[in-house]
């Protein structure tokens, strides 16, 4: 069995391709079920699997036979509606130590678009919890992820990796302030009511905009968020008719199709007499049709467009990266040592299991013999003496045989090993 990762992220795949492989949290369990079913007939044992899907990445982690990687690539391509060749040209596969290093770096925020950002750790924990509840995790992946969380905690505690970190939400505010002279005169519409929108609304609210509104599919959740910022709430269905009222629009929903189209924005601009609109699409897949970017009076930014903004301050964090890598190296070596102990051929754990099984078989045999003697009325002390002698002989038989059979150097090595095992003083 091998541990491996297969994925695409913001450095290897364009936004629209990533959008084809975006899975909401409630889609992870059925997706894992489909993957494991597809692999179960092609591998020697059922695979452990986990799926992490965010705006910047979609990654599958498995503890399974190595040949399952190719089958997973085919399955993933089919799920995203693309050819295996196209997916393969943008995907990466990592095995064992490299896979462990990657997941530790992801959890620690070293592989994010925003170096040191903390949101990914919460997203990973949610994904692992769902995989565990779906019965897709086993001992190996549980160890991998729990160790990644521990390493991430140490990195954030022992280094300054998160210092000066600029989130997507903060970057959006920075761009808006470059377009509008005074954010206090700006009307802001947030589309959606999830974690990213909550974060964006918090950053914008700190600049005291003229008005805040939340458009969401369900009013109840939208009202709760709007109440925090003294804003109003509207139904998603009312958005096209009211879009022209807002100077800035920030959208991040779980919709699989764009919810703000080119036509709706064109009509809004006409009603606004072509006053500029600032739009941020934080969703993957997109919430706003990409053609909107071609409109003269619209300034549209996607998660990828924000990359250069969020890198501000990165030079100040490079020293912390070196410290974090040292912590990650130690975590990787510890995990590989644990994996090595469990190797069915060379590992210590299988040998310990076999020794325990053998010792238990000897114990059961001597107990059965003792019970038969007691049933025949034999003296208890004599039976106990025979039981202890029988166990001792069985346990020493192999060592004695090695000493008698060996010659020269082999006997010296056997004698040294047996002395170390049986004659060392108790501590």
Q: C-alpha distances in angstroms, 365 versus 371, 387, 392, 394?
A: 10, 10, 13, 11
Beta bridge partners of 389: none
Which of 3, 55, 113, 295 is flagged as catalytic?
55
Q: How many CB atoms lie within 10 A of CB 179?
A: 14
| Inter-axis angle of helices 380-405 and 348-375, nearest 10 | 140
Q: How far apart are CA 127 and CA 123, in angstroms?
A: 6
Alpha helices in 283-347 (DSSP H): 307-310, 318-341
**Residue 114 near residue 165, CB atoms below 8 Å:** yes
Q: Which two tokens stand for residue 49?
A: 């699997």
Longest dimension (CA), the chain: 108
What are the Cα distances from residue 16, in Å, to 13, 256, 258, 309?
A: 8, 12, 12, 21
CA 338 from centre of chain: 20
Q: Is 55 a catalytic residue?
A: yes
Three-state SS at 47: coil
Neighbour tally for 256: CB within 10 Å:
11
Query: Which active-site residues does the annotation give?
Result: 55
């Amino acid at each position: 069995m091998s541990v491996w990762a297969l994925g695409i992220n913001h450095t290897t795949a364009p936004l629209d391709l990533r959008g084809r492989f975006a899975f909401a949290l409630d889609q992870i369990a059925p997706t894992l079920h489909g993957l494991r079913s597809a692999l179960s007939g092609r591998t020697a044992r059922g695979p452990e699997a986990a799926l992490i899907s965010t705006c910047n990445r979609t990654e599958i982690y498995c503890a399974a036979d190595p040949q399952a990687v190719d089958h997973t690539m085919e399955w993933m391509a089919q799920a995203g509606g693309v050819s295996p060749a196209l997916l393969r040209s943008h995907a990466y596969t990592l095995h064992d130590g490299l896979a462990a290093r990657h997941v530790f770096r992801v959890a620690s925020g070293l592989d994010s678009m925003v170096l040191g950002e903390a949101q990914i750790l919460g997203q990973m924990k949610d994904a692992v919890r769902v995989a565990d509840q779906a019965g897709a995790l086993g001992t190996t992946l549980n160890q991998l992820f729990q160790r990644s969380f521990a390493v991430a905690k140490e990195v954030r505690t022992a280094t300054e990796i998160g210092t000066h970190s600029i989130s997507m939400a903060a970057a959006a505010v920075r761009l808006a302030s470059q377009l509008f002279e005074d954010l206090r005169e700006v009307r802001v519409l947030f589309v959606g009511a999830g974690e990213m929108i909550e974060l964006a609304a918090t950053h914008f609210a700190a600049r005291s905009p003229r008005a805040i509104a939340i458009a969401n599919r369900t009013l109840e959740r939208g009202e709760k968020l709007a109440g925090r910022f003294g804003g109003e709430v509207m139904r998603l269905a009312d958005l096209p008719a009211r879009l022209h009222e807002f100077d800035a629009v920030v959208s991040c929903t779980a919709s699989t199709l764009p919810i703000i189209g080119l036509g709706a924005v064109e009509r809004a601009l006409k009603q606004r007499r072509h006053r500029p609109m600032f739009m941020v699409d934080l969703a993957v897949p997109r919430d706003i049709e990409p053609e909107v970017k071609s409109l003269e009076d619209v300034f549209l930014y996607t998660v990828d467009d924000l990359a250069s903004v969020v890198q501000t301050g990165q030079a100040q964090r490079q020293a912390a990266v070196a410290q974090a890598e040292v912590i990650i190296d130690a975590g990787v070596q510890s995990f590989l040592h644990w994996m090595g102990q469990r190797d069915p051929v060379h590992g210590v754990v299988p040998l310990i299991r076999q020794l325990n099984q053998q010792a238990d078989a000897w114990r059961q045999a001597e107990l059965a013999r003792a019970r038969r003697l007691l049933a025949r009325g034999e003296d208890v002390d004599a039976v106990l003496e025979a039981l202890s002698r029988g166990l001792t002989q069985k346990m020493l038989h192999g060592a004695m045989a090695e000493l008698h059979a060996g010659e020269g150097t082999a006997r010296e090595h056997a004698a040294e090993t047996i002395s170390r095992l049986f004659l060392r003083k108790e501590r």
